Amino acid sequence: MATQCSSFEVQGACGRARAGLLSLPHGEVQTPAFMPVGTRATVRGLDNADIRATGASLVLANTYHLWVRPGHRLIEKLGGLHRFMAWDGPILTDSGGYQVFSLRDRLKITEEGVRFRSVEDGQYRLLTPEVSIEIQEALGVDVAMAFDECLELPADRDKTLKSTERTTRWLRRCVEARTKPESTALFGIVQGGLEADLRVAHAQEIAEMDLDGYAIGGLSVGESREHLLAMAEVSADALPNEKIRYLMGVGHPHDIVDSVLLGVDLFDCVLPTRAGRHGQAYTSVGRKNLKNAKYSEDGGPLDPGCGCGTCTTYTQAYLRHLVKCDEMLGKRLLSFHNVYFYQALLRDLRSAITDGDEAAIAGIRAMAVVASARV
């Protein structure tokens, strides 16, 4: 198709795990990949040079937040989101739906879309598939996500089925609403709650629409780790092999590694930056809380094996001091380390997949399990 601006190539595999290359208007992304979250057109605590230095090549921004502040039309007028945030690499936006569904009390869901009152400015707004695509295209991002219904769990089978059907209808409207397929790709989202067969059916149904990529949605919302991985597995298996698979909102390092081993290629999560702002660091020896007094006299780095600027420059004693004093630099240095840690994890995993090195993959998985647990 001449108007497609995105392509994906599986370049290597080991079991179900894939090493791929996602090509987007603003650059290429080696997968498996992790997107740091830049909610309001900034990845909290990092500037663009920092983001590059972590190894990240694709960032996620939140449609809802940019719609409300400063407004997608203003960003469009100023040359689009890339120019606005001065990030020349690829950007993916969510549909805005997740944030809207999180504001439960003022919410009214109809077939048309979702009517709600935004807490930021008290204004009533209507988010529909058409509006979501309009905003994302105005932002000029590389990848727009389809507007889906975010089902609250637990949900019964009938409700889940109806929600999945509505998500498909909304997806068709998203496809219809596109006006810039040559510059903004569209990924569809598999729903189906915790019903494996509904997920399979939904994945197969939307796969027929031959979109640029497919996401697995409705997870990482409080369900158990077993449910998360089981639903990721059935969803990934039912999606076409030649398209990128994105598991939204995941997650802890070991959840990411396990999902890659189930055939997922792309991830986003606020955890590394949020943890950094709260004084926590993901390391190869566990998730550290720098508020802990045991680091107060520690002249060593966060993670001796880490090559990031935080670990090669600063001691844990200094980082703890910054955290205890609530200094901005502490949040920044820890956020930087955490995003770097995630990027290094996925880079190592990609390398092991490409090499078909199962022992290396097992080692990375074991490390990710350790890194995800508090010490």
Active site residues: 94, 268
- Site mask, its own copies, residues 324-363, x = CB under 8 A? xx-xxx-xxx------------------------------
Site for its own copies in 31-50 (CB under 8 A): 40-42, 44-48
Which residues, in sequence order, are CB contacts of 17 under 8 Å at separation 6+? 32, 260, 261, 262, 263, 349, 353, 361
- Site mask, its own copies, residues 73-92, x = CB under 8 A? -x--xxx----xxx------
- Site mask, its own copies, residues 270-309, x = CB under 8 A? --------------------------xx-x----------
By CB under 8 A, is residue 109 in contact with its own copies? Answer: no
Planar angle of CA 178, 182, 183, nearest 5 degrees: 90
- Report phi then psi at 102, rounded to 5: -75, -20
Q: Are 63 and 143 in contact (CB under 8 A)?
A: no
Closer to its own copies by CB, 121 or 208: give it: 121
Closer to its own copies by CB, 62 or 168: give it: 62
By CB under 8 A, is residue 119 in contact with its own copies? Answer: no
Question: What is the separation of C-alpha 156 from the centre of its chain, rounded to a whole number of angstroms?
Answer: 27
Closer to its own copies by CB, 98 or 314: give it: 314
Place of tokens 């969803």: 235
Cis peptide before 154 (omega within 30 of 0): yes
SS3 label, residue 146 = coil
Give the range of 206-214, 244-252, 264-272, 316-324 binding its own copies by CB under 8 A: 316-324
Q: Are 310 and 337 in contact (CB under 8 A)?
A: yes
Q: Are 188 and 181 in contact (CB under 8 A)?
A: no
- Shortest distance in whole angstroms from residue 25 CB to its own copies: 21
By CB under 8 A, is residue 317 in contact with its own copies? Answer: yes
- Shortest distance in whole angstroms from residue 335 CB to its own copies: 9
Give the binding site for its own copies (CB under 8 A): 40-42, 44-48, 69-70, 74, 77-79, 84-86, 296-297, 299, 313-315, 317-318, 320-322, 324-325, 327-329, 331-333
